Structure 1
Amino acid sequence: MGFTFQINDDVRFKHDQSLLNKAANYRPKIYDQKMTARSIVELKKDTTLLEGVGVKKIADIHELPKQHLKRSDQVILDFGNHRVGKFSINIDSVGSPMDAPLFLKLKFAEMPAELAQDSADYDGWLSKSWIQEEYVHLDTLPVTLKLPRRYSFRFVELTVLDTSPKWQAVFDAPTVETESAVQENTIKAPELADPKLKRIYQVGLKTLADCMQTVFEDGPKRDRRLWIGDLRLQALADYSTFKNIDIVKRCLYLFGAMPTEDGRIPANVFTQPKEQPDDTFLFDYGLFFISILSDYEEFNPDREVLDDLYNVAKRQMDVALKQVNSEGELQLNDDYPVFIDWSNDFNKATAGQAVLIYTLKQFIELANQKHDADTNKYTSKLTKLTEFANKQLFDTKSGFFVSGKKREVNVASQVWMTLAHVKNDHDTQQLMTQTVKQLFPIKGIATPYMYHHVTQALFEAGLKDEAVQLMKDYWGKMIDLGADTFWEAFDPDKPDYSPYGSSILNSYCHAWSCTPVYLIDKYLS
């Protein structure tokens, strides 16, 4: 696990109310749809699925009222697919008069494996309050229990902790009112001959739709907020599918409206109960504000948005360039760390330099559109950064970019230098061909976020077959393990991997994993 909490109490933020007002104007409509559970299931062992746990149907959902549940009885409801929304259920009693309250536990799960775990065993570094469990006392029945929180789930486990010996609980009409800023059934999937790719596209689309709420959330189960790294990838996926540009504009304005006094934008923002920036800052995430603005302008030229947010983008670049020495070398520091990926098992300096080159190229395009008098200054910086990368970071003997004082060779360095197009097309293809031969299979990386960049680098280098195979091996493996939506973290060699100490806190629907829809649209359609 490479990401750690930052607590920056001394940081002061600005709040541009005019930009916040624009963000509010672009708040999307939320579509609601009532959906009932499909069946009653029980857990079963299945070594082909995640953590060896699957489900077996034992009854249709209309059989639910026939089950009379007493102390310690349990039933698992299956909603047939991943759902995001608010849950309700009718509850009554049978037998003698109700002489004690119903004590009920509800547990919501995106994957069957979560139901097989005991929440009491969790001892990870993230708050256990994210575990989707509720304990309810009901003094009188019948009642329609409507839970106020929004949940992200496919399965609901109902456990009667107690009634009394005289009566039993009866359940009926388990319903979720789903919430999303888009309607998934409005998208026609591209024609794909490969059934595996077709299924990967469908699951990616579902993942994106369930993460599109009042903002692009990183995960509807956890964290439920707007992270800039996720936003960049979600926006690209949105342009390939729903084309909901208003939500992209809303997210851009939220970041642009709340920079620090020194101009940096936060890595993420909260929108409830009010718009509030987090005190977390990441070097590459700050630069990706430029990417998001550039990608948006490429997809939908919008002079008003560019005029409103150009200076915010410029400030991110100026802050980043302060960490470049006279030779053109990026010198990272712990006060403004580079993310690249969760893992700290590899040196990130060269990947960080490549991200700076990648975003500086995009910024220069924006500067040209704005006729910025400082454009030549940024062009000169780009030349120095690129020359340093080619002369000092590329090892001609090994044929790889190296990183850090130990001249480490890692996948991330090659991938980001490829995406930044630091070398010509022929040399780039040669670089990624050698990366596949010598650095694959990938080790030490367990996020779809980084796997996206690896896959796109393969496509950009002209290695289409290798890119498709990686998509099928990585995202396809999640589907083989039972995924309805793509996950926040996944290591093919350790399917039960969790960065949090327990997979019960893993998000099994996460924004940065939705990008196969973009990759398929851009490179295969």
Structure 2
Amino acid sequence: MAFTFQINNDIKFNHDEKLLAKAAANEPKLKHTTVKATDLVDIVADEQAFNGYKAVANNQDIKQLPTYALKKGGKLVLDFGDHQVGRFSIDIDSVGSPMDAPLYLHLTFAETPAEIGVDASGYDGWLSSSWITEEYIHLDVLPTKLSLPRRYAFRYVEIEVKDTSPKWQASFSNPQVVTESAVSMTDVPLVNIDDPELKRIDEVSIKTLHDCMQSVFEDGPKRDHRLWLGDLRLQALANYATFNDDQLVKRCLYLFGGMTTTEGKISANVFTTPKVTPDDTFMYDYSLFFISVLSDFYKQSQNNEVLNDLYPIAKKQIELALKAVGNDDLLVMDEDWPVFVDWSTKIDKATAGQAILIYVLKQFIGLVQQKEPDQVARYQALVDRYSAAAVSQLFDADQGLFVSGPNREVNIASQVWMVLAHVLDDAENEQLMTKAVAKLFPVTGIATPYMYHHIAAALFEANHQADAIKLIKSYWGKMIDLGADTFFEAFEPENLSFSPYGSPVINSYCHAWSCTPTYLIRKYLVK
């Protein structure tokens, strides 16, 4: 795990009330749907199942739920048929003698069966255990409708009766969730995808994006509930290809642009409740990606008001980023402003960071052409210099691959980002990825769909369509084979029990940066 908590209490932030008012004006009215539980299941241990547990049908009928009264120690698991994000409620009554003691319940909300199967009390990871989606509840009077105030992300709900009284039992009926999202699945235009596996991957991608589109583009509806710039960039691209909700992208751009540091730097993420607040976490590539989101948004919408409002902030990100470039025209890594690229601690990220700077500079030039055309030559000269430095100092001609860091490490991130930045010409890019596939595939040690997206995109860009499709199927398709209703925050095909936090109970199994196959499929494969 490369990402660590940053604590920068001395950072001061601007709050541009004009920009924040525009962010508030673009907050969506959430759409709601009532979804009822579809089945009752058992969660059973299975070494072959994802994280060691699976859901299996039992002999109970959901229509007969009120007749399955539970005493102390009794449990049942509701299956809602698909991933849901919303507010849960259930009717509860007592059966037998008069209720002479409170009902004590334990409810567990799970995106996957393992979150119920694994004993959460043993969790001791670096993320707070308060993110584990479980509730302990006492009810003094029955009958009642238990309507939980928190929003949950789940498919399964386990109800465990911790205690009642020997005189009576608890009866349950009408379990339902009122879902929340900024968009509707019916908003997505139909496209013709002939390959059934890619079609299913596309469907799960869209569901993942849908469930992460809330009052902002959240990174994950189970945990964090935050707006992260790296996630936003990918979500926005997937959104343009599917829901095409410009308003939500605009809101998120204004949130980031309205709360920069006094130096002008943009946070890696933003909290939205109880009030909008920038986090004191900063990443070099994420700050630059504000420009990417703005550039992609302008190409999509041609909205000059947003460009006029946010261009100065985008320009400031470039000027701050350029200060990190050394006299040799190469990026100098800074632990206080790290280059993220991927969670992996196993790769050197300097060359990828150089390529990201070039990639974003090229996008920025498109904005400069609209706002300051007389400055295009200046920024184009920087692109040329940094690209020349990358080729002369970071490209190993003998290997035909880019190297990174003092040990001249060869890793997949370096090749991928150099391809995406188009530092080489098209023929050279194709040859570079041919070498990368031969030397660095199958990919190992990369845990995030975020990085896998960029690998797949680079394969498409470098005329390796068959390899890109194979990667999408072996990575995202593998999640579906393991039962995914939505795509995961972290996933290593070579290590199915991988968790960046040490336990599957804290992982997010619906995560923003994993939604991009729908974008890749619709950009590169749908005619």
What TM-score does the superposition give when structure 1 sets the normalisation length? 0.99
* Local SS of the residue matching 1:503: coil
The structural deviation recorded for 1:314 is 0.3
- 1:199 paired residue number: 200
Deviations 1:467-515 (A, max 9, x none): 0000000000000001000000000011110001111100000000000
* Local SS of the residue matching 1:77: strand
Distance in 2 of aligned mates of 1:214 and 1:53? 33
- 1:499 paired residue number: 500
- 2:62 paired residue number: 61
Contact between 2:358 and 2:421, CA under 8 Å: does it hold in 1? yes
Q: Which amino acid aligns with 2:367?
A: L
User: 2:472 aligned with 1:471, yes or no?
Assistant: yes
- 2:462 paired residue number: 461
Distance in 2 of aligned mates of 1:351 and 1:200? 28
Q: Which amino acid aligns with 1:256?
A: G
Q: Which amino acid aligns with 1:403?
A: S
- 2:51 paired residue number: 51
Distance in 2 of aligned mates of 1:147 and 1:174? 12
The structural deviation recorded for 1:374 is 3.2
Pairing of 1:345-494 with structure 2 (within 5 A): 345-494=346-495
Deviates more, 1:249-258 or 1:47-56: 47-56
The structural deviation recorded for 1:46 is 4.0
Distance in 2 of aligned mates of 1:156 and 1:468? 35
Distance in 2 of aligned mates of 1:106 and 1:327? 58
Q: Percent identity over the alignment?
A: 58
Q: Which amino acid aligns with 2:2?
A: G
Q: Which amino acid aligns with 1:53?
A: Y
Distance in 2 of aligned mates of 1:373 and 1:103? 70
The structural deviation recorded for 1:47 is 4.4
* Local SS of the residue matching 1:41: strand
- 2:90 paired residue number: 89
Distance in 2 of aligned mates of 1:372 and 1:156? 57
- 1:284 paired residue number: 285
Deviations 1:310-336 (A, max 9, x none): 000000000000011232111111111
- 1:266 paired residue number: 267
Which structure 2 segments of 5+ residues have no match?
Answer: none
Q: Which amino acid aligns with 1:379?
A: Q
- 1:308 paired residue number: 309
The structural deviation recorded for 1:193 is 1.6
Contact between 1:83 and 1:210, CA under 8 Å: does it hold in 2? yes
Contact between 1:48 and 1:480, CA under 8 Å: does it hold in 2? no
The structural deviation recorded for 1:122 is 0.1
Pairing of 1:324-339 with structure 2 (within 5 A): 324-339=325-340
* Local SS of the residue matching 1:427: helix
Distance in 2 of aligned mates of 1:348 and 1:45? 39
Q: Which amino acid aligns with 2:109?
A: F
Contact between 1:287 and 1:359, CA under 8 Å: does it hold in 2? yes
- 1:27 paired residue number: 27
User: 2:249 aligned with 1:239, yes or no?
Assistant: no
Deviations 1:104-149 (A, max 9, x none): 0100000001111111100000000000000100001000000000
- 1:10 paired residue number: 10
Distance in 2 of aligned mates of 1:125 and 1:46? 27
Contact between 2:19 and 2:254, CA under 8 Å: does it hold in 1? yes
User: 2:152 aligned with 1:146, yes or no?
Assistant: no
Distance in 2 of aligned mates of 1:497 and 1:474? 14
Contact between 1:200 and 1:516, CA under 8 Å: does it hold in 2? yes
Q: Which amino acid aligns with 2:89?
A: S
Pairing of 1:206-245 with structure 2 (within 5 A): 206-245=207-246
The structural deviation recorded for 1:52 is 3.0
* Local SS of the residue matching 1:505: coil
Q: Which amino acid aligns with 1:475?
A: W
Contact between 2:44 and 2:117, CA under 8 Å: does it hold in 1? no
Deviates more, 1:369-378 or 1:241-250: 369-378
* Local SS of the residue matching 1:62: helix
Count of residue pairs the alignment pairs up: 525
Distance in 2 of aligned mates of 1:188 and 1:285? 30
Distance in 1 of aligned mates of 2:410 and 2:234? 26
Contact between 1:100 and 1:164, CA under 8 Å: does it hold in 2? yes
Deviates more, 1:167-176 or 1:36-45: 36-45
The structural deviation recorded for 1:443 is 1.3
Contact between 2:257 and 2:313, CA under 8 Å: does it hold in 1? yes
Deviates more, 1:213-222 or 1:329-338: 329-338
* Local SS of the residue matching 1:397: coil
Distance in 2 of aligned mates of 1:415 and 1:219? 25
- 2:514 paired residue number: 513
Q: Which amino acid aligns with 1:336?
A: W
Distance in 1 of aligned mates of 2:187 and 2:24? 25
* Local SS of the residue matching 1:83: strand
- 1:160 paired residue number: 161
Distance in 2 of aligned mates of 1:278 and 1:35? 34
Q: Which amino acid aligns with 1:56?
A: V
Q: CA RMSD in A?
A: 0.9
Distance in 2 of aligned mates of 1:362 and 1:521? 21
* Local SS of the residue matching 1:504: coil
- 1:113 paired residue number: 114
Distance in 1 of aligned mates of 2:293 and 2:226? 17
Distance in 2 of aligned mates of 1:189 and 1:73? 45
Distance in 1 of aligned mates of 2:377 and 2:15? 31
Contact between 2:488 and 2:510, CA under 8 Å: does it hold in 1? yes
The structural deviation recorded for 1:299 is 1.1
The structural deviation recorded for 1:465 is 0.3
Contact between 1:284 and 1:340, CA under 8 Å: does it hold in 2? yes
* Local SS of the residue matching 1:442: coil
Q: Which amino acid aligns with 1:478?
A: M
* Local SS of the residue matching 1:374: helix
Q: Which amino acid aligns with 1:180?
A: S
Distance in 2 of aligned mates of 1:47 and 1:123? 23
Contact between 2:45 and 2:117, CA under 8 Å: does it hold in 1? no
Contact between 2:91 and 2:144, CA under 8 Å: does it hold in 1? yes
* Local SS of the residue matching 1:307: helix
- 1:76 paired residue number: 77
Contact between 1:189 and 1:201, CA under 8 Å: does it hold in 2? no
Distance in 1 of aligned mates of 2:377 and 2:316? 16
Contact between 2:41 and 2:57, CA under 8 Å: does it hold in 1? yes
Distance in 1 of aligned mates of 2:98 and 2:145? 19
Contact between 1:38 and 1:60, CA under 8 Å: does it hold in 2? no
The structural deviation recorded for 1:60 is 2.6
What TM-score does the superposition give when structure 2 sets the normalisation length? 0.99
- 1:254 paired residue number: 255
Distance in 1 of aligned mates of 2:190 and 2:211? 17
The structural deviation recorded for 1:48 is 4.2
* Local SS of the residue matching 2:505: helix
Distance in 2 of aligned mates of 1:332 and 1:312? 23
